């Protein structure tokens, strides 16, 4: 299992940004995603999106958290 802290911690405490569709997004948080009692992947919250990844760190889907300009 990957270490989410190793992978994303720098995004929380530096100027590092996710580039999503050409827009630099600040990372606000991350965590594990589960279905029932099974961990199925992880998520990353940015200013405007919640991004979901599977257990192999492959992108699964993107949810809009608020209206994007």
pLDDT tens digits, 43-68: 999 999 999 999 999 999 999 987 65
Give the per-residue pLDDT at 66: 73
Tell whether the model's pLDDT for residue 21 goes beyond 90. Answer: no
Q: How far apart are CA 2 and CA 17, in angstroms?
A: 20
Q: Tell me, rounded to whole angstroms, the distance of Cα 33 from its chain centroid.
A: 10
Tell whether the model's pLDDT for residue 27 goes beyond 90. Answer: yes
Nearest CA to 30 out of 42, 38, 40 is that of 42
Q: What percent of the chain has pLDDT over 70?
A: 96
Strands 23-25 and 59-64: unpaired
Q: How far apart are CA 39 and CA 47, in angstroms?
A: 24
């Amino acid at each position: 299992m990957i270490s989410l802290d190793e992978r994303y911690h720098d995004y929380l405490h530096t100027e590092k940004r996710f580039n999503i569709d050409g827009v630099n997004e600040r990372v606000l948080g991350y965590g594990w995603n589960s279905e029932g009692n099974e961990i199925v992947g992880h998520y990353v919250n940015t200013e405007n999106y919640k991004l979901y990844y599977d257990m192999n760190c492959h992108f699964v889907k993107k949810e809009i958290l608020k209206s994007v300009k």
